[in-house]
Chain A
Amino acid sequence: MERENFYLLLELQLIPPEEDPETILQAIKKKQAEWGKLRNHPTKGIMAKQHIGLVPEIKEVMLDNERRKKEAKNALKELKKKEREKYLTLDRHLAIFLIKGPVTEDEIFRLSKMHSISQEEIQARLKKNEKENFLDFNKRRAVRGSLSGDKLINEIDRQISIRMVNGFLMEEDITKIAKFHSVEVDKVKARIICPVVQKASDAPERPKPLDKSIEKAITENLVVVSKTSLYDFLDLTQGEDLDTIHTAINNKRAEILKAGKKTAMVTASSELAGHCSAVFKDENTRLAYDINMANALLSLLNSDIEASAEDDTICSAYFEVLIKSAAEFGMNEKEAISYIEDYAGKKGWKIKSARKTKRLVIIISIAVVAVLFLSILGAFSAVAIKKNRIKKRFQAVLEEIETKKQLEEKEAVMKAYLKSIDNKVFVFDDAQKKLTKIQIQILKRNKAIEDAYNLLISTSEALTAEQNYEEAVKALSQYMIKYPNSHHLDDIKKKIAEIKAVAEVKEYEALQKAAEEQGADKISIYIEFLNSHPENKYCPEVKKALANLSETYYASIKKQLTANEKKEDWQACFDLCNEFLKIYPDNIKSPEIRGLQYFYKKKLQE
């Protein structure tokens, strides 16, 4: 960084220049105190440290007559330069306004607010221009296409950088740059590190932008080390690959570490090295930084656009000027228009432009022609569409019929469809044929059902006569499953009930007979009956009979339990209890047996 002028730094009088050593020392002391207080300021700390570090040199220069005189002379030059820099952006904007005519008071007010320069100063600037004519917009240089060597490379890099503002480049951008500078496309491509796409819709997701506070910190540190970008800090160009950059970062760090003096320059360099590690971590973070750089390059153009907007509108004259202004940045007309419209759009500003009006007329004309054409086309299309619609509906009806399981349902769907269409419609005959087909199927089916029913009756009667009640019921049930729509279902159900009733009586009679036989194990018989005929209407009687035998059964169980306990056959004991409880779950003896069952279970678990 070029050393600051000490007269300006100490805010000493310049005309005539202060020469009293005592006054100078007091000024140094005053500034030292100020810088001391800023030593740990979050953003001004580095500069304060730098200034503190300059104190020995300040004293050396300012207390030496010859060197002090030279310093005073340089201070005046420095002030003029600062004045020019102060008005640099203001002059740009005044030049834009002057193109359309005299600068209005509103415009002066707006510029005053934008640049924090008083209106009187701006008025004075305009008056000065009347004599010297320095606010000539046409004096601005556009990008030249006749560069060579390093200047050419730098300009190509700048053009690439400006177009990278969205995070990618289009193939046509590369071609434009190559054509403008009369170089091969491959030469331009070799310098590109961002994604390149054919069209904007193919563009990858834009990386997360670099935080503004970080951007600021990087910029401030770059000023301290007199560099323009992190690439410049690493002594590289923007087109280098990441590996090269990482090597450069390591080398830079090694260089910084060797510095024994912890000056502001060293501290700023160390901070920048840290930023490099973060920014150049991968291609994504690098691209975010490159986009930031692109935005920074266009900051002057952006300020031109900002200055041109009045009441959220950019007038036609200014729009034309801005397009020309963009040429300074290497943009052609189409690119310039796109950029300015995009910028204004984001701010919510309107652009009043003759170009835009002309474009609007063309668009409307095209729209009218298109509507007429479409109307004619539509008329011809209507007929075709109607026919197609009828066909589609018929098809849908046929598909719906396929989904129905019952023939009667299919018949109903088709009947409803035929009712809904005119008999002159071209699908009517086909639909009618389909209905007829369904109805024939119904008739055939019904005949089959009748035939099957007749057969069933004779079969079931035969089986019943043989006392094969089960088979008879089975046959009847199968008919019901097979022909769920038969109108004989009620008769069949009645038949089944009759057969069952007869069967139950027979079963019970058989039971009674079996139980009355000498030596019969009534309990087993009853249990077996209950298990085999759980639906028999005589089950309650059987259960009652069984209950009457519970005492006998209980006694028998107990004997068996005692025998098994002696053998410690706990499983057999448990099973016996289980059997009793199955038969007599709520008998008076059931709680006792349950208790024993629990005891045997515990024994088994031991």
Chain B
Amino acid sequence: MYMFSVQLALIQRQMILMSDKSSKIFGIDLGTTYSSIAYVDDYGKAVVINNSDNIPVTPSVVFFDGDDIVVGEVAKESSKLYPSEVVSFIKRAMGEADYFFEYDSKTYRAEEISSYIIKKVVQDAENTVGEKISDLVITCPAYFGINEREATRKAGEIAGYTVRQIINEPTAAAIAYGLAESHDERVVLVYDLGGGTFDITLIEIKPESISVICTGGDHNLGGKDWDDRIVAYLAQEFQDKTGSKEDILEDPDTCQDLLLIAEKSKKILTQRQKTPVAITHGGEKIKIEFEREKFEEITTALTERTIAFTKEMLIEASNKGYSDFDEIILVGGATRMPQITSRVEQEFNMKPKVFDPDGAVAKGAAIYGWKLSINDDLIRRVEKKTGKSIDQTKEGVGLVSLNGEVSEEIVSETAKEMSEELGYAMPAIEGSMVKISDVTSKSFGIVVKNVKLEEHVFNLILKNTAVPVKATKDFYTAVDNQDTVLIRIMENDTNEQTAPLDDSENIGTAVFTLPQGLPKDSKILIYFDMNSEGRLQITAEEMTDSRTVEVTIETKSVIQGEELQIAKERSQSLIVH
């Protein structure tokens, strides 16, 4: 989904160029259940930074405690006593237009709550490393759509940071893996099962590039679902043993208690065959022996879903000429469950490797951020040396001649100077030029009418297409002097040119303000331009006189306008504990 070469958002790059030295960019794994932050230290090693509790992962749990916001382990423990004041799994609500959390007569969107988590991990990291953090690379599931990605970016901005890039979690893991392991060419299947999301991605790793071939998954499938099954089972056991027909999960305190018990039990059963569990409700207490065999029985369906997604993705990959892979790596805390390793091995006849389940994504994001900052510096120096501007929109920019005016020798020379000055090894500088290509995890199109005047979606950009990518479509005005055209932009999971309207998600409406005096049937050319980050830009051109058409995109799925302003102001005055 993300083509990383030397392309950066224009504004961000300008800001960097203004400073003499590029700022350090930190990588954040913003997880559904746990979040972490990492950076590349002076020795070129990616390191996860411990939080204020000296633990590398921080629970993505937010507790609204009067005027204070508490994030992390304390918030998690508080959920037992104050279930209505604690928010968990907020990542699952990102990009949902109608979700909000209400506290003390104020409403909070998912982006704002996520910003508190980001703020907490960054603050703790600042205390540890002893420096101010301003720039971030934040990861998200590969299977996030445009709204969810935009919401993630907004969360970073609300927290007061510059979000340099949003990258996919499996891609980040592959970056960390590619650098940690040998430099052979190989195709790797990345099975990323986190706390709330599942991504399955096929990635080709070469010494000079890391390319995503295909991706799939479900951002509503993760370790939390395994916990939920345990909770449902324990509630049923309580009913069976006490003879009560009451649904004990109606009680928020009991429900929260069971959720914590479920998570603990799941972790214990990773190491042991059974664990004792006590369930207390309404003055009654029962004890049961919860066995791994039972746990696997009640969660088989979830594991099978991940295998089904994987098989589906591999079919798509085979259509692109990739019918085999060399390795399987497991990423994400939930892959620690023995049933995952054994089921994956059983299905694909290959022993998977568990690769740094808690740290790989954050480290990959940090490495990516580090590459960004090295590249920033390199480009700045080349431009200063030559007095020329490097075209950021060109693909494949690296140590190759640019615009025919900057020679490879100058770039190499500049890289060497940089290496000597900053102390980085030359391979590290050259390594920052490794190309990282991604694909889009969704198809994007617009609503059109067929010959029967029935509405459906015409996909301009198909799922699993390498990004950046452009596509165009013709439209014709319906009447004389038409002044606007409304285009509904849709996102779906099909791999076909057309998709039913019911199967597609409306991610925004593009309003085209047309030039005056256009006759009926005037041709309007619409451009879809998706960049390496997966951000979609839409432009239009009126073909009669080649005039540009102004386009604005309206979407309610992501915080914006007044709501965004309020959120930013609240964040500025807030200290997150």
- B-binding residues in A (CB < 8 A): 29, 32-33, 36-37, 39-45, 52-53, 55-56, 116, 211-214, 216-217, 253-254, 257-262, 267, 270-271, 273-275, 277-279, 281
Contact = CB atoms under 8 A, between A and B. Distances in A.
Contacts of A116: 245
B237 to A, nearest CB: 8
A260 B101 contact: no
B442 A40 contact: no
B298 A253 contact: no
Contact of B84 (A37, A41, A212, A274): A37
A71 B337 CA distance: 49
Q: Which of B107, B300, B491 has the most CB of A within 10 A?
A: B300
B492 interface: yes
Interface string B185-223: 000000000000000000000000000000010111100
Given A273-B308, A274-B304, A278-B304, A43 B102 contact: no
A33 B305 contact: no
A36 B505 CA distance: 21
B304 A40 contact: no
B85 to A, nearest CB: 10
B255 A41 contact: yes
B92 A213 contact: no
B219 A262 contact: yes
A262 B220 contact: yes
Contacts of B101: 33, 36-37
Nearest to A114: B245
Interface residues of B, number: 59
Given A36-B93, A44-B249, 7 more contacts: A42-B227, A56-B98, A213-B232, A260-B443, A260-B503, A260-B505, A277-B305
Contact of B92 (A39, A212, A281): A39
A262 B217 CA distance: 12
B98 A261 contact: no
17 contacts: A33-B100, A36-B100, A37-B84, A39-B92, A39-B93, A39-B99, A42-B255, A116-B245, A211-B236, A253-B312, A259-B493, A260-B442, A260-B492, A260-B493, A261-B503, A262-B220, A271-B305
B503 A259 contact: yes
A225 to B, nearest CB: 14
A213 B298 contact: yes
B102 A36 contact: yes
B71 interface: no
Contacts of A56: 97-98
A279 B297 CA distance: 11
Contacts, number: 133
Given A261-B503, A262-B219, A274-B301, A213 B490 contact: no
B301 A258 contact: no
Contacts of B494: 258, 260
B205 to A, nearest CB: 27
B236 A213 contact: yes
B259 interface: yes
Contacts of A32: 98-100, 102
Contact of A274 (B233, B258, B302): B302
Interface of B: 84, 88-89, 92-93, 96-102, 107, 145, 216, 218-221, 224, 227-229, 231-233, 235-236, 240, 245, 249, 255, 258-259, 262, 294, 297-298, 300-302, 304-305, 307-309, 312, 442-443, 490-494, 499, 502-505
A39 B100 CA distance: 10
**Complex A-B, nearest 9 residue pairs according to Cβ-Cβ distance, in ascending order:** A260-B492, A277-B304, A274-B301, A42-B228, A33-B102, A274-B305, A55-B98, A42-B231, A213-B233
Please indicate which of the listed interface residues B231, B232, B307, B502 has the most CB atoms of chain A within 10 Å of its own CB: B232
B505 A253 contact: no
A42 B249 contact: yes
Contacts of B502: 259, 261
Contact of A43 (B89, B92, B228): B228
Nearest to A33: B102
Contacts of B233: 211, 213
A9 to B, nearest CB: 14
B17 to A, nearest CB: 39
A262 B47 CA distance: 35
Contact of A42 (B96, B100, B259): B259
A275 B303 CA distance: 10
A261 B505 CA distance: 5
B505 A254 contact: no
A14 B498 CA distance: 44
Contacts of A212: 236, 240
B99 A52 contact: yes
A274 B220 CA distance: 13
Contact of B298 (A41, A42, A211): A211
Contacts of B262: 42
Q: Which residue of A37, A55, A270, A274 has the most chain B CB atoms within 10 A of its CB atom?
A: A274
A281 B443 CA distance: 32
A44 B236 CA distance: 15
Nearest to A220: B232
Contact of B232 (A216, A273, A277): A216
Contacts of A258: 492-494, 499, 503
A40 B503 contact: no
Contacts of A42: 227-229, 231-232, 249, 255, 258-259, 262
Given A42-B259, A213-B236, A217-B232, A257 B99 contact: no
Contacts of A278: 300-301, 304
Interface centre among B231, B236, B490 (most CB of A within 10 A): B236
Contacts of B231: 42-43
Given A39-B92, A254-B312, A260 B301 contact: no
A29 B297 CA distance: 40
Nearest to A275: B301
A523 B233 CA distance: 94
Contacts of B301: 214, 271, 274-275, 277-279
Contacts of A52: 96, 98-99
A254 to B, nearest CB: 7
A361 B216 CA distance: 72
A156 B520 CA distance: 64
B493 A257 contact: yes
B266 to A, nearest CB: 13
B98 A53 contact: yes
Contacts of A55: 98
A214 B259 contact: no
